[in-house]
Amino acid sequence: MILGQEKAGIVTNSLKNWRKDIPMKEYKVITLPLAEEDIADQTDYIAFELKSPETAINMVRGFQEVIKSLSLFPQSHELDEDEELAGYGIRRYIIRIIKFIL
């Protein structure tokens, strides 16, 4: 499939143009308790220690978006670098926080 190519009268360059009569399979994404605990610890640190609750909220929203994208496109992120985890199909996503000083 080539992005932007018309096929059966439908432009295939975005999901909003997806044919409604073709169901998209949605996968179940499982977040391990340890990962949930890590997310809670990181966001609590950002919200309370760094006194930046808006950044913590945005971080949680970012995690939610990644999880949602994995449910529709499970292979959109690379397999974990740990071979054992990759063998189970566990994927990883790295969030980079960049600080700009102006």
Lowest-confidence segment of 1-10, 11-20, 28-37, 38-47 by average pLDDT: 1-10
Domain assignment present for residue 44? The answer is yes
**pLDDT of 65-82, one tens digit each?**
888 888 888 888 889 899
Domain assignment present for residue 42? The answer is yes
- Three-state DSSP class for 82? coil
Give the tokens for residue 24.
């998209």
Domain assignment present for residue 3? The answer is no
What's the pTM? Answer: 0.60
What is the signed CA dihedral for 37, 39, 40, 42, rounded to 10 degrees? 120
The pLDDT of residue 6 is above 90: no
Domain assignment present for residue 29? The answer is yes
Domain assignment present for residue 69? The answer is yes
Number of domains forming the structure of the chain: 1
Dihedral sign (CA 13, 17, 20, 26): positive
Mean pLDDT over 36-61 rounds to 92
The pLDDT of residue 49 is above 90: yes
